[in-house]
């Protein structure tokens, strides 16, 4: 049997209790007690409130009230107790409950609690609860609001469908492992969101109202390179779904929004693209102003086209706010023009993620005829350079690797194509951009790189 380390707290056992008709004691008569009382009343509990004084709303509730101090015998026969009094009284309640093997919910007093309530969402027979083990109730509340915004409006239909299928699958002895994928297929057949109508802005005002999605480019990293419209949409947003490489400084503009990470990084678990589509559609269906925040530009290897098509198919009003792609920003900030009279009249941008993606493009290029910009190619630069050399690109072709462009960790290596695979590059979580072509020599000759540069050759 595996035991947690001694330094870690034991995990909580999440349970949903049937309290209808069960004796439950609430100790305290203030605002916190009143809030707990309302929640427990919805559960049908047999409630007793114990406090010398109670608020008018507690007095008006149909519950038993004992206007006096707490006595240990008050817990005899109780199934659950809520301690919502002073810390001194809560400690006495907790000790009395422990002696009687009764769970006690110590409100905002985790030391004197053996049961914790959480942020609760109730909709159409579905209950979702979140807990931070009493450490941060406000965080549980924020998470509750964020998740509630993403739940489908008509959960009752989902519940009815799932209940009917469960009975059928039990009768047919369908294994539990097979039920979830079958249920997903069945629910997708029911899925449909009526998007809240959009009120078009008045003249001079481009702020949408109602359910609306903005696909926003966050630029290369520096928040100062955000467009004015991108900042405006972040400030207005109710929900932000952001990608990897988006900095925390950029997210600070979304002061009113719930921000959820849905980014993808190579080789790591990530949110599926179809799930992101459903999140966007569902949030807009609830009338939310949603920002889908992507590093660089949404339409440059950002799958923005896929998301636009999904939104259009679902009838969700949306817009695209371009961002500065690192395909342009990284070379520029390193002092490398991607086009220059007499050296390069054009440039080609490819993803270096997989050879099957960049291979056909490189094979179609005449060596040196264009500036080659490779995004996401640091990890594959060896095979990529090998292919370019095989295709006839000279090994002395100027080359550069720009890492974490526009951020304080920015670093630029400048050298020759043949030396690029073995280049000593610093570890970085930022994006990397390769620039290959005669224009790289301009930065080397002018010494124009704005950040630390490793020069491979004089």
Q: For residue 204, what pLDDT is reported?
A: 53
Cα three-residue angle 217-150-321, rounded to 5 degrees? 15
Closest by alpha carbon to 244, among 276, 274, 279? 276
Query: What's the pLDDT tens digit per position in 377-430?
Result: 888 899 999 999 999 999 999 999 999 898 888 899 999 999 999 988 887 666
Compute the average pLDDT of residues 304-312: 93
Contact 195, 316 (CB under 8 A): yes
**147, part of any domain:** no
Are 177 and 95 contained in the same domain? no
pTM to 2 decimal places = 0.58
Q: For residue 5, what pLDDT is reported?
A: 43
**317, part of any domain:** yes
* pLDDT band at residue 126 using 50, 70 and 90 as cut-offs: confident
Q: For residue 207, what pLDDT is reported?
A: 66
Q: For residue 198, what pLDDT is reported?
A: 45
Give the count of domains, the chain: 4
**4, part of any domain:** no
Residue 217 CA to residue 226 CA, distance in Å, equals: 8
Compute the average pLDDT of residues 128-137: 73
Are 314 and 372 contained in the same domain? no
Q: For residue 458, what pLDDT is reported?
A: 37
CATH number at residue 264: 3.40.1010.10
* pLDDT band at residue 325 using 50, 70 and 90 as cut-offs: very high
Mean residue pLDDT across the chain = 83
Lowest mean pLDDT among 39-43, 190-194, 332-336, 420-424: 190-194
Q: How far is CA 253 from CA 13, 100, 184, 260, 291, in A?
A: 37, 51, 36, 14, 12
Q: Which domain holds residue 73?
A: 23-117
Compute the average pLDDT of residues 288-311: 92
* pLDDT band at residue 196 using 50, 70 and 90 as cut-offs: very low
Are 70 and 56 contained in the same domain? yes
State yes or no: pLDDT of 2 exceeds 70.
no
Which residue numbers are catalytic?
243, 264
């Amino acid at each position: 049997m595996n035991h947690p380390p001694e330094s870690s707290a034991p995990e909580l056992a999440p349970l949903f209790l049937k309290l209808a008709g069960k004796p439950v004691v609430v100790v305290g008569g203030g605002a916190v007690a009143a809030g707990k009382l309302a929640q427990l009343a919805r559960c049908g509990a047999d409630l007793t409130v114990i406090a010398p004084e109670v608020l008018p709303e507690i007095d008006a509730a149909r519950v038993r009230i004992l206007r006096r101090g707490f006595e240990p015998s008050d817990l005899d026969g109780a199934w659950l107790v809520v301690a919502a009094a002073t810390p001194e009284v809560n400690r006495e309640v907790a000790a009395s409950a422990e002696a009687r093997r009764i769970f006690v919910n110590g409100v905002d007093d985790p030391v004197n609690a053996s049961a914790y309530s959480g942020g609760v969402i109730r909709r159409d027979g579905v209950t979702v609860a979140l807990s931070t083990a009493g450490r941060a109730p406000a965080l549980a509340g924020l998470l509750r609001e964020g998740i509630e915004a993403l739940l489908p409006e008509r959960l009752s239909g989902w519940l009815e469908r799932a209940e009917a299928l469960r009975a059928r699958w039990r009768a047919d002895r369908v294994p539990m492992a097979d039920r979830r994928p079958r249920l997903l297929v069945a629910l997708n057949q029911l899925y449909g969101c009526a998007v809240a109508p959009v009120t078009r802005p008045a003249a001079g005002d481009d702020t949408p109202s109602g359910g609306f999605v903005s696909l926003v480019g966050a630029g290369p990293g520096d928040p100062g390179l955000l467009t004015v419209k991108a900042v405006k949409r972040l400030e207005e947003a109710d929900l932000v779904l952001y990608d990897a490489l988006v900095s925390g400084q950029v997210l600070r503009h979304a002061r009113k929004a719930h921000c959820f990470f849905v980014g993808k990084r190579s080789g790591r678990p990530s949110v599926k693209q179809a799930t992101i589509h459903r999140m966007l559609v569902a949030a807009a269906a609830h009338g939310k102003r949603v920002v889908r925040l992507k590093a660089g530009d949404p339409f440059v290897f950002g799958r923005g086209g896929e998301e636009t098509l999904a939104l259009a198919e679902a009838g969700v009003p949306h817009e695209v706010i371009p961002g500065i792609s690192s395909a342009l920003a990284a070379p520029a900030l390193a002092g490398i023009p991607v086009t220059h009279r007499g050296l390069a009249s054009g440039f080609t941008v490819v993803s270096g993620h997989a050879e099957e993606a960049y291979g056909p493009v490189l094979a179609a290029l005449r060596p040196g005829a264009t500036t080659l910009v490779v995004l996401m190619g640091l990890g594959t630069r060896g095979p990529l350079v090998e292919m370019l050399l095989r295709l006839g690109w000279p090994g002395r072709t100027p080359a550069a690797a720009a890492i974490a462009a526009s951020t304080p960790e920015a670093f630029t290596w400048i050298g020759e194509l043949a030396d690029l695979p073995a280049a000593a590059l610093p570890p970085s979580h930022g994006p990397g951009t390769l620039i290959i072509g005669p224009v790289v020599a301009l930065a080397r000759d002018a010494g124009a790189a704005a950040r630390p540069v490793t020069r491979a050759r004089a």
